[in-house]
Structure 1
Amino acid sequence: MSQPQSNAYIIEIHDRAAGIITREERGFRFFSSERLFDSLEGRQFRSAREAERAARAVFSERGRRASSPLFAN
Structure 2
Amino acid sequence: MQSARIVEVDETSAGIVVPEDRGYRFFAAHPDFYRLEGLVFRSPRHATRAARELRETRSRPRRH
Q: 1:55 aligns with which of 48, 51, 55?
A: 51
Distance in 2 (CA, whole Å) between partners of 1:54 and 1:31 is 13
Match of 1:15 in 2: 11
Q: For residues 3-58 of structure 1, what are the alpha-carbon distances to aligned partners after superposition, in whole Å with 9 as ceiling and x for unaligned?
A: x5x31000110100000000111210000001110000000011111101100011
Larger radius of gyration: 1
Q: % of aligned pairs identical?
A: 42
TM-score between both structures, scaled by the size of structure 2: 0.90
Choose between structure 1 and 2 for higher RCO, CA contacts under 8 A separated by at least 6 residues: 2
Matched, 1:33 2:29: yes
Q: Kindly tell me the number of residue pairs found equivalent between the two proteins.
A: 64
CA RMSD of aligned residues (A): 1.3
Which portions of structure 1, spanning 4 or more consecutive aligned residues, are displaced by more than 6 angstroms? none
Ranges in structure 1 where 5+ consecutive residues have no aligned partner: none
